Amino acid sequence: MTNLTAANKVRYDLSGKAAIVTGAASGIGLATATMLARNGCTVAINYLAGDARGPEAVANLRQEGCNVIEAPGSVSDPKGGPKMIEDTIRKLGRLDLLVNNAGTPGVTEVVPPSRLDLITDEMWETIMQTNLIGLFRLSKAAAPTLKEYHGSIVSVASIAGLHNAGSSLAYGASKAGVVNLTKNLARGLGPEVRVNAIAPGAVDSSWQIQWTDDARKGSIEKAALKRRCQPEDLAEVIVFLAFGASMVTGQTVVVDGGLTL
């Protein structure tokens, strides 16, 4: 099914498969949607309505000959999120993979754990609705079709959900929830559906957190592989968990270049 290319990347024959990738207008989501589509998968690219990067990504991939469709909508919308999943599944005709990538840090600068005064109820609500509750709603909506096609779910957690402070304690808590939810969804949806997650470390992408040059250099120096993750590094692991890891479920794979060793 797979073979190593000269670029040392695993390739898959995903013809006839269909996937939904949330938060796919940029970063990890776009890299994942691109890798899936280039390997023959039909991909629904989810993005926030009004984000011009979404239609642009779809247009660019179609120019390459990839089979992609638009799936605008907010994953945090209690009704709109599940409806987006249901409508998109009808358009795709099937579903083999849901990538829960959409998320928010809720802040633009890191909030130290000691600054409890900066953690507001509004921040909790925004982060939890997007990163955790919305993720569950979408997984629930997709579950019947994923069971039918023996598909999989791959969610994007974070090292902040394991043992890193992250951008704020609220963000870390939401990602810890993703790690736990991944285990329980794997229990609940097995044996038909495998459910896994990845925990990225420092990633170079269009994320909302503002990194200083010193912080960026520090993350490189601390990493065993002496570099920061690129979105494609995360996409490679997501695709592997989705289509190449038939006996892996309920796991969260750390992808950080050894940053947290």
pTM for the whole thing? 0.94
Q: What are the residue ranges spanned by the domains of the chain?
A: 2-255
Among 2-11, 114-123, 230-239, the least confident range: 2-11
Q: Which CATH architecture has domain 2-255?
A: 3-Layer(aba) Sandwich (3.40)
Residue in 22, 85, 26, 87 with CA at minimum distance from that of residue 52:
26
Residue 12 designated active-site: no
Closest by CA to 102, choosing from 66, 67, 126, 68, is: 126
Q: Check whether 4 has a pLDDT greater than 60.
A: no
CA distances from 59 to 18, 68, 123, 146, 239 (A): 18, 9, 34, 27, 22
Q: Please give the pLDDT value at position 207.
A: 64
Taking the C-alpha atoms of residue 196 and residue 128, their distance in angstroms, rounded to an integer, is 19
Q: Which comes out higher in pLDDT, residue 4 or 76?
A: 76
Q: Residues 51-57: contacts with CB within 8 Å, 24+ apart?
A: 51/25, 53/25, 53/26, 54/24, 54/25, 57/24, 57/25, 57/26, 57/30, 57/33
Instruction: Give residue for tokens 């968990």.
Output: 241
In whole angstroms, give the CA distance from residue 171 to residue 111: 10
Q: Is 4 exposed, middle or buried (0-12, 13-18, 19+ CB in 10 A)?
A: exposed
Tokens at residue 218, please?
């520090």
8 A C-beta contact, residue 237 and residue 215: no
- pLDDT bracket for residue 130 (50, 70, 90): very high
Residue-wise pLDDT for 197-244, tens only, equals: 999 998 887 765 666 778 788 889 989 999 999 999 999 999 999 999
17-75 pLDDT, tens digit each? 999 999 999 999 999 999 999 999 999 999 999 999 999 999 999 999 999 999 999 99
Catalytic residue among 12, 47, 149, 171: 171
